[in-house]
Amino acid sequence: MIIALSGGVGGAKLALGLSRVLPPEELLVVVNTGDDFEHLGLSISPDIDTVAYTLAGLANREVGWGRHDETWSFMETIEGLGGETWFRLGDRDLALHVERTRRLRRGESLSAVTEDLCRRMGILQRIVPMSDDPVRTRLLTEEGWIDFQDYFVRRRCEPVVKELRFHGAETAQPHPTFMAALADPALQGVVICPSNPFISVEPILAIPGVRDALVACKAPVIAVSPIIAGRAVKGPTAKMMTELGLDPSAGTVAHRYADLLDGYVIDNADMAEVVSIDARVTLAQTLMTTMEDRETLARTVLDAAAVLRRRK
């Protein structure tokens, strides 16, 4: 069994690759919920939806989030009514948010709603939120503290980031399915997907007990670098690293994960970084353009995990 820690579009790509090379029951995707927010009276969980739509084959392939079979009547109409349209909600995507909000309001947990909605979308893999308790990423910029989606979507990542906080993380419980899987003797590896370490992975690691459980985990922990040749494949990772005073390199990300990593997969372009990384490094093509790229990278990660298991 493999656990994949995922957030954002990059994480979903590798989760898809893993879903195509593993039996469904052997993949558990643990998803960041720090990007979640309340908007237009709806509870929205973008990283859960991005992974779910991707595994269900419903995702918009150009942008990676939302659905490909979308219409926009709701957005057009709410604009005419003076409502907020900066966060694009397609008509079909909207139905998911309305139904999830209804069930959360009835007292169901985020993971229970996610499990049922994913099943209804035909997804056979398990997708669980990192926690059923609320965790919200906020960013300190020159304008003060702003919420994640304000930063990421409304402001298009323009504000300079000085600090990040994951509100609620310190009192959140890691999801029990996640913790049980980390202790499961059948676990063969934990994959930290090529997501933005600050906004997609560190909220997961910030939950009490998670880092310790990963360090104690008998199975190897392998991360895939989200940086290729000093640039992020997508999103503000490199910009954030520079603003936080960090060198935007694959090596820097490895150092942030530090004691967690047994293995690290970096792009062929970053061969020179190998010497600065403690973990066992695998060079690969980490840019995933085609489905074959996703599957090949997934196999490379699983092979690296197999080698590390033999060494443990």
Catalogue the E-assigned strands of the chain.
2-6, 27-31, 37-39, 42-44, 126-129, 136-141, 144-147, 163-167, 189-192, 221-224, 227-228, 231-232, 263-267, 280-284
Structure token digits, residue 240: 């954030």
Q: Which amino acid is at 33?
A: T
Q: With binding defined as CB under 6 A, does residue 198 bind ligand FO1?
A: no
Closer to ligand FO1 by Cβ: residue 50 or 125: 50
Pick the stretch among 105-113, 120-128, 146-154, 290-298 that binds ligand FO1 (CB under 6 A). 146-154
Q: With binding defined as CB under 6 A, does residue 149 bind ligand FO1?
A: yes
**Residue 53 CB, nearest approach to ligand FO1 (Å):** 8
Q: With binding defined as CB under 6 A, does residue 60 bind ligand FO1?
A: no
Terminal Cα distance for the chain, rounded:
17
DSSP-assigned beta bridge partners for residue 141: 144
Q: With binding defined as CB under 6 A, does residue 50 bind ligand FO1?
A: yes
The binder of ligand FO1 chosen from 6, 28, 46, 205 (CB under 6 A): 46
Q: With binding defined as CB under 6 A, does residue 263 bind ligand FO1?
A: no
Neighbour tally for 215: CB within 10 Å: 11
Written as one string, the DSSP assignment of 135-186 is -EEEEEETTEEEEHHIIIIISTT-SPP-EEEEETGGGPPPPHHHHHHHH-TT
CA dist list (Å): 69 to 53, 57, 65, 90: 11, 11, 12, 9
CA angle centred on 210, ends 278 and 162, rounded to 5°: 75
Q: With binding defined as CB under 6 A, does residue 72 bind ligand FO1?
A: no
Applying the rule CB under 6 A, the residues between 81 and 100 that interact with ligand FO1 are: 87-89, 93
Closer to ligand FO1 by Cβ: residue 33 or 249: 33
Total binding residues toward ligand FO1, as defined by CB under 6 A? 16
Closer to ligand FO1 by Cβ: residue 47 or 273: 47
Q: With binding defined as CB under 6 A, does residue 35 bind ligand FO1?
A: yes
Structure token digits, residue 215: 């360090």
**Residue 91 CB, nearest approach to ligand FO1 (Å):** 12
Question: Cα torsion for 158, 161, 165, 166, to the nearest 10°?
Answer: 30
Closer to ligand FO1 by Cβ: residue 48 or 279: 48
Applying the rule CB under 6 A, the residues between 228 and 257 that interact with ligand FO1 are: none
Q: With binding defined as CB under 6 A, does residue 152 bind ligand FO1?
A: yes
Q: What is the DSSP letter of 74?
A: H
Closer to ligand FO1 by Cβ: residue 70 or 243: 70
Q: Which residues bind ligand FO1 (CB under 6 A)?
A: 8-9, 35, 46-47, 49-50, 65-66, 87-89, 93, 149, 152-153
